[in-house]
């Protein structure tokens, strides 16, 4: 085993090649971070378009700084992309699994879909060599690294911990700042199947993560920690949504309550909203609940919080129906503002907006358009026959109801400004509390998820 100084020198001097399996919103910034540290890189994906983009020095995903890093690495001959995961394994020293883990089934909890993990591990095993290091970074149920990945890798005839290293190190990034989060924002959590795997992974990642590394006792701790981070947020968002609903019916503003409560250092009330989307937080509760169920336990708080957040699109549409009755709107037509699951990112995956649209349709409310400044096309909206536009004037020129679903910065307007410019709008439903509520014209209506009704 190389000592710490030798390992760091190899990395900095480009003598270590890392193959990243999965070139999506997680894998691409991970690959860029290793390239920045001095490593040579191989990008691996089953999507030929992503591979083609990377081989042109272009980023497969929209993230700050990635394109510049990939372009320079290609020009220096330090980067290559392929759909051949076996060849990438043969040609690399470090293999990082960053493929998506999804859900399948309908009952609670849904089952984890680890098919992409299995495929990546199988390809790695067919090219695995003595002295290699495999790091799993995909979010997975606790025990996946040692109980699923390890046996597949050992089909190579090599033994984990003896012939090659194996560790789990969760990604801790948010879209729109992914590379910065890896390199600058947080310490890297490292948990190996043995002490040697943990140490080697830590030495390498200490050259990448400026906030350093945190070594935990094993891979299961690291896997659990990642899910616990997301579930903490899910549970607290559910609490915010529940309290916001009560604040609204009491005729007070939840935001004022939140600001006052959070002046106490032990209170960390979150913001309410139309739901929780993306391929992280909505999935993690199922992973932990699934593994708990297998062991005869039930995570009741985790389960209830997830159900509260999943119910929010329906509750928002109930506010639309309530507003239609209050204002006696005869032919309601709504435009939904925001398709992305989070503000100022171009990613609609598992966005609560989709559930909003389905509920509006179920209630027979005409949907004029969906507006999003960052998303140009969406196959799911095409299937539903709902127009998608990046032009806010176009989205708000025809409907009489505006429903804000995503907290994009472009929607940070004064309520009087919105009503003044779009006189056809009679009702505004603010699902993200993003509007500055200054005044309400006669004949108009406004409500926020945690704000009382205002009728002009």
pLDDT in tens, 30-85: 999 999 999 999 999 999 999 999 999 999 999 999 999 999 999 999 999 999 99
2 — pLDDT class (breaks 50, 70, 90):
low
Query: In this structure, which topology does domain 4-217 adopt according to CATH?
Result: Rossmann fold (3.40.50)
| Mean pLDDT score, 444-449 | 98
Q: Tell me the whole-structure pTM to 2 decimals.
A: 0.95
Give 244's contacts (C-beta < 8 A, 6+ positions apart): 254, 272, 449, 450
Pairing type for strands 401-404 and 388-389 reads unpaired
Question: Given 3.40.50.970, 3.40.50.2300, 3.40.50.1110, 3.40.50.720, which CATH number is that of 309-455?
Answer: 3.40.50.720
**Domains 231-303 and 309-455 are alike in CATH topology:** no
Domain boundaries defined on the chain: 4-217, 231-303, 309-455
Integer Cα distance of 273 and 352 in angstroms: 10
Q: Are 124 and 94 in contact (CB under 8 A)?
A: no
* 13 burial type by CB count under 10 A (0-12 exposed, 13-18 middle, 19+ buried): exposed
Measuring CA to CA, which residue among 318, 303, 320 is closest to residue 238? 303
How many other C-beta atoms can be found within 10 angstroms of the C-beta atom of residue 157?
Answer: 8
For 231-303, CATH gives: 1.10.1040.10
SS3 241: helix
- Each residue's pLDDT tens digit, 9-26: 999 999 999 999 999 999
Q: Give the pLDDT of residue 7.
A: 87
Q: What would the mean pLDDT of 147-153 be, rounded to a whole number? A: 98
Catalytic residues: 226, 280
């Amino acid at each position: 085993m190389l000592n710490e100084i030798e390992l760091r020198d190899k990395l900095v001097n480009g003598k270590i090649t890392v193959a990243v399996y999965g070139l999506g919103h997680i894998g691409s910034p991970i690959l860029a971070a290793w390239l920045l540290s001095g490593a040579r890189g191989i990008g691996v994906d089953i999507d030929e378009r992503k591979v083609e983009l990377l081989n042109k020095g272009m980023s497969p995903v929209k993230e700050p700084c990635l394109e510049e890093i990939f372009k320079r690495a290609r020009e220096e001959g330090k980067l290559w992309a392929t759909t051949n995961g076996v060849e990438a394994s043969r040609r690399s020293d470090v293999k990082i699994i960053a493929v998506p883990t999804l859900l399948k089934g309908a009952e609670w909890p849904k089952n984890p879909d680890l098919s992409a993990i299995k495929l990546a591990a199988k390809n790695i095993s067919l090219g695995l060599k003595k002295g290699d290091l495999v790091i799993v970074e995909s979010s997975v149920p606790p025990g996946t690294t040692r109980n699923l990945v390890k046996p597949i890798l050992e089909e190579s005839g090599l033994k984990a911990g003896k012939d090659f290293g194996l560790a789990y190190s969760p990604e801790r990034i948010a879209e729109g700042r992914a590379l910065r989060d890896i390199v600058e924002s947080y310490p890297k959590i490292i948990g190996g199947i043995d002490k040697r795997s943990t140490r080697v992974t830590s030495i390498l990642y200490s050259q990448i993560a400026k906030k350093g590394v945190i070594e935990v006792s094993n891979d299961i701790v690291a896997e659990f920690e990642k899910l616990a981070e997301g579930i903490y947020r899910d549970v607290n968002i559910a609490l915010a949504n529940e309290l916001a609903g009560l604040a609204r019916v009491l005729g007070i503003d939840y935001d004022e309550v939140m600001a006052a409560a959070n002046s106490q250092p032990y209170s960390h009330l979150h913001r309410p909203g139309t739901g929780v989307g993306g391929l992280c937080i909505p999935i993690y509760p199922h992973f932990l609940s699934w593994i708990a169920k297998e062991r005869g336990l039930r995570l009741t708080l985790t389960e209830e919080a997830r159900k509260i957040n999943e119910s929010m699109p329906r509750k928002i549409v109930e506010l639309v129906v309530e507003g239609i009755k209050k204002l006696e709107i005869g032919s309601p037509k709504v435009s939904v503002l925001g398709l992305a699951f989070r503000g100022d990112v171009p990613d609609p995956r598992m966005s609560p907006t989709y559930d909003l649209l389905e509920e509006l349709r179920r209630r027979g409310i005409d949907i004029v358009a969906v507006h999003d400044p960052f998303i140009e096309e969406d196959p799911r909206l095409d299937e539903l026959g709902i127009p998608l536009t990046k032009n806010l004037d176009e989205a708000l020129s025809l409907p009489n109801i505006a429903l804000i679903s995503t907290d994009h910065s472009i929607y940070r307007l004064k309520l009087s400004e919105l009503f003044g410019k779009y006189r056809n709008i009679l009702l505004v439903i603010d699902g993200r509390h993003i509007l500055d509520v200054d005044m309400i014209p006669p004949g108009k209506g406004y409500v926020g998820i945690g704000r009382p009704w205002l009728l002009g």
